[in-house]
Structure 1
Amino acid sequence: MKALLIIDVQNGMFLKGYEVFNGENLIHNIKTLISKARSTHTPIFYVQHNEGEGEPLETGTIGWEIHPEIAPEEGDVVIQKTTPDSFFKTPLDEELKKRGIEHLIITGIQTDLCVDTTCRRAVSEGYKITLVSDAHSTWPSEELTAQQIINHHNGTLRWFGNVLGTEGTGFSVPKKGLI
């Protein structure tokens, strides 16, 4: 069974003057994936990063909240984390196993940190992964544009699982009794 995993798409990632690269398109694509997931009864997991006082994702602040256009609904699972690894010292693995999840469709922010680390860790934990190539984003570095970083990770992470665009990401209706 598959699950949609949305990593760190929080208000603090869209602060004016510090917006994540291609943020509007990112939100659009994640909304499309959420719609597909809901229509096929695919579980949705959100990962929410927690930072300290004064940081953009300071726990309990507006910046920490999940972006309102993709906010969780009843039945969705929200996992709290404090490191780039969505599995490290979190109940993510336990919650996935409890629901029989074997395959993660991964989206979110930040391509080169939390998304990359979580993809690799998921494979190490025995999950199949699909990285949605146009539904993760980052910021430029001194050496590379954000698009170059995204392209690099799409190319590298294909060695760990599928890398597909939003429209190519398959969701299927689960067999009766599995929901």
Structure 2
Amino acid sequence: MVLVLLLIYVQNNMLLPPAPVPDADRVAAAISHVLERARAGGAGGAHPEQQHRRRPRRTRNLRLGTSARGPPRRARSRQTDTRLLRRHPAGLRAAGVGPLVVAGMQSDFCVRAPALAALKRGHKSTLVQDAHATYDDEFSAAEESARVDEELSAAGVKLIGSEEVVFA
């Protein structure tokens, strides 16, 4: 089974000024580290992309926000439950896709839902704790990310740090 890295909305507009997520430098470094490890280990990859965006791909906001580049497979999605998981759960397993490693932006919605959806569909799911973030809202970004970590851990998602991720 192939371990797959699911990067969610890793975009310049969330990691660079004028409106980055809190602690964007640390999160971007962790995401870059995980992506480098995934490429070195031969992991498969996908990052969801909203279909309703009609801007050209080469706009500043749609480029990967980290120094890592390459041809990850794009999974088109309108909802945070990631159509990659909803449309093809049996096909993913038949294609040899096994555990998912999840990282990216908007911990409280866009990261949380696919991690839970993977579990619901029988895939092991791992969240890289230092490689996901959100904006301050009702709770601070740090509090919200910690709440998401706690909820996902209770649901059965494995939590690890970017230094612990192994794609081999």
Instruction: Give the TM-score, by structure 1 length.
Output: 0.80
Match of 2:140 in 1: 145
Contact conserved, 1:79 with 1:90, CA < 8 A, in 2?
no
Any gaps of 5 or more consecutive residues in structure 1?
A: 173-179
Q: Does 1:123 align with 2:124?
A: no
In structure 2, relative to structure 1, the CA distance for the partners of 1:92 and 1:106 (3 Å cut) is: farther
Match of 1:156 in 2: 151
Match of 1:24, SS state, is helix
Q: Does 1:168 align with 2:164?
A: yes
In structure 2, relative to structure 1, the CA distance for the partners of 1:157 and 1:90 (3 Å cut) is: closer
* Residue identity matched to 1:47: P
Q: Give, in angstroms, the shift of residue 144 of structure 1.
A: 1.1
Distance (Å, rounded) in 1 between the aligned partners of 2:94 and 2:73: 12
Q: Which of 129, 133, 137 is residue 133 of structure 1 equivalent to?
A: 129
Q: Give, in angstroms, the shift of residue 98 of structure 1.
A: 5.2
Q: Which of 79, 101, 107 is residue 83 of structure 1 equivalent to?
A: 79
Q: Does 1:66 align with 2:61?
A: no
Q: Give, in angstroms, the shift of residue 18 of structure 1.
A: 1.8
In structure 2, relative to structure 1, the CA distance for the partners of 1:31 and 1:38 (3 Å cut) is: same
In structure 2, relative to structure 1, the CA distance for the partners of 1:114 and 1:162 (3 Å cut) is: same
Contact conserved, 2:38 with 2:167, CA < 8 A, in 1?
yes
In structure 2, relative to structure 1, the CA distance for the partners of 1:31 and 1:121 (3 Å cut) is: same
CA RMSD of aligned residues (A): 2.4
* Residue identity matched to 1:101: V
In structure 2, relative to structure 1, the CA distance for the partners of 1:105 and 1:161 (3 Å cut) is: same
Distance (Å, rounded) in 1 between the aligned partners of 2:88 and 2:25: 27
Match of 1:19 in 2: 20
Match of 1:175 in 2: none
Match of 2:60, SS state, is coil
- Aligned pair count reads 165
Q: Give, in angstroms, the shift of residue 109 of structure 1.
A: 0.7
Contact conserved, 1:106 with 1:129, CA < 8 A, in 2?
yes
Contact conserved, 2:16 with 2:24, CA < 8 A, in 1?
no
Aligned sequence identity (%): 24
Contact conserved, 2:107 with 2:132, CA < 8 A, in 1?
yes
Any gaps of 5 or more consecutive residues in structure 2?
A: none
Match of 2:7 in 1: 6
Q: Give, in angstroms, the shift of residue 19 of structure 1.
A: 0.9
Contact conserved, 2:15 with 2:28, CA < 8 A, in 1?
no
1:35-74: per-residue Cα shift (whole Å, max 9, x none)? 1111211112122234457xxxx5644323332523333x
Structure holding more helix per residue: 2
In structure 2, relative to structure 1, the CA distance for the partners of 1:89 and 1:98 (3 Å cut) is: closer
Highest RCO, 1 vs 2 (Cα 8 Å, sep ≥ 6): 2
Instruction: Give the TM-score, by structure 2 length.
Output: 0.85
Distance (Å, rounded) in 2 between the aligned partners of 1:38 and 1:10: 19
